[in-house]
Amino acid sequence: MIIGVDAMGGDFAPKNEVLGAIKAFPRLKAGSRIALFGDKNQIEAIAKAEGFDVSNFDAIHTTEVIGMNDLPAKAFVQKPDSSISVGFTALAEGKINGFASAGNTGAMMAAAMYSVKVIDGIIRPCISTDLPLMNGKTALLLDVGFNSDCKPEMLYQYALLGSIYASEVMDINNPRVALLNIGEEEEKGDLLTKAAYELMKGTSDFNFVGNVEGHAILSGKVADVVVCDGFVGNVVLKLAEGFYRVALKQGIDNEYFNRFNYEIYGGTPALGVNAPVIIGHGASSPRAIMNMILQTEHVIKAELVKKVKEALNK
């Protein structure tokens, strides 16, 4: 198994990316190997400064970088020798088994849709994130930013994708799927959530348990998978990140609050595309990059794409 990593994507690339890969190296399963896409000279210099043998990695030299402020789709086309473009080409050609980056999220999704493409039957892919629950477990929230405007059918597919991911990657048995809404009652919500509820009600594709309100999503008593459009999901995600930063500034050292630290999760899986793709936080530390790489390995081993296709065929 070869795990592709964008060494040039992120606010502190390539240093944090290479340091994170070095941290991940001894934690990889037997047969797994990291391929770093980026400026080979910089990669080797960072590894040498750490006393690490860079031959433990495959370093694929690239000469261009897609920045955080570049227009996603245009940058992917105009910078064919960028670490993201070359990485996705390798993924599409089967030279690597998954690709992870803390770079431009829009460029990552545009590249995924252009190169490895969306799984047949999926309207639009989405991105998800982990939610730490008060019972010590973890739930999944999706979409968290890729699709701000959704159709009911898209939310239904997010529910299916989330259920499969929760079952196969998070090891949750028969995950409970809920629709994020302003009330628990069936008739609550806007036109989108009402229509989505009608589609999900009575389905046998996943374990739909109804609506869940915002105050209940962290309790763990209602749902393992929480579904919403990307606008709402991104607001929830950014609020959680802000909540953690406030706790840090207040000097609060609490086991539960500390689980809101994005570093321990590493990255966000893109669901609905034909290959494992993990998107990390732009400000990722070496620890976050390490966990992003290990998460990519886990998703590859779980054969998530294969299982999504099987579910859609049913």
Q: What is the pLDDT of residues 123-136, one digit of tens each?
A: 999 999 999 999 99
Asked if residue 312 belongs to a domain, the reply is no
User: Is 73 a residue whose pLDDT tops 80?
Assistant: no
Least confident of 103-117, 146-160, 169-183: 103-117
Two tokens, residue 196: 């989505």
Taking the CA atoms of residue 298, residue 303, residue 304 and residue 309 in that order, the dihedral angle to the nearest 10 degrees is 170
Asked if residue 52 belongs to a domain, the reply is yes
Amino acid making up residue 248: L
Q: What is the pLDDT of residues 178-204, one digit of tens each?
A: 999 999 998 899 999 999 999 999 999
Say which residues have a Cβ less than 8 Å from residue 256's Cβ, sequence separation at least 6.
132, 134
At residue 39, the pLDDT reads: 97
Asked if residue 314 belongs to a domain, the reply is no
Same domain for 139 and 112:
no
At residue 147, the pLDDT reads: 86
Asked if residue 34 belongs to a domain, the reply is yes
Q: What is the CATH number of the domain that holds 203?
A: 3.40.718.10
Same domain for 220 and 133:
yes
At 154, the pLDDT band (50, 70, 90 cuts) reads very high
Same domain for 156 and 27:
no
At residue 77, the pLDDT reads: 79
At 113, the pLDDT band (50, 70, 90 cuts) reads confident
Asked if residue 310 belongs to a domain, the reply is no
Which structural domain range is residue 75 located in?
1-122+272-303
Which residues lie across from 58 on neighbouring strands?
35
Total number of domains constituting the chain: 2
At 278, the pLDDT band (50, 70, 90 cuts) reads very high
Handedness of CA 6, 11, 15, 21 (dihedral sign): negative
Same domain for 252 and 152:
yes
At residue 133, the pLDDT reads: 93
Mean per-residue pLDDT over the chain, rounded: 92
Same domain for 153 and 252:
yes
- For the chain, what percent of residues have pLDDT higher than 70? 100
Same domain for 250 and 135:
yes
At residue 29, the pLDDT reads: 95
Q: What is the pLDDT of residues 217-273, one digit of tens each?
A: 999 899 999 999 999 999 999 898 888 889 889 998 888 888 888 888 888 889 999
Same domain for 132 and 151:
yes
The average pLDDT across 95-122 equals 91
The average pLDDT across 84-103 equals 95
Same domain for 112 and 159:
no
Asked if residue 227 belongs to a domain, the reply is yes
The average pLDDT across 1-18 equals 95
Model confidence, pTM: 0.89
* Total residues belonging to the chain: 314
At residue 304, the pLDDT reads: 86
Buried b / exposed e along 235-256 (16+ C-beta atoms within 10 A) = ebbeebeeebeebeeeeeeeee
SS3 label, residue 83: helix
At residue 261, the pLDDT reads: 84
At residue 309, the pLDDT reads: 87
Considering only residues 100 and 148, tell me which one the structure prediction assigns the higher pLDDT.
100
At residue 105, the pLDDT reads: 84
User: Is 76 a residue whose pLDDT tops 80?
Assistant: no
Same domain for 227 and 147:
yes
Say which residues have a Cβ less than 8 Å from residue 281's Cβ, sequence separation at least 6.
102, 262, 267, 288
Same domain for 52 and 163:
no
Same domain for 280 and 234:
no
Same domain for 2 and 68:
yes
The average pLDDT across 110-122 equals 90
At residue 109, the pLDDT reads: 85
- For the chain, what percent of residues have pLDDT higher than 90? 69
At residue 307, the pLDDT reads: 86
User: Is 72 a residue whose pLDDT tops 80?
Assistant: no
Asked if residue 111 belongs to a domain, the reply is yes
Asked if residue 129 belongs to a domain, the reply is yes
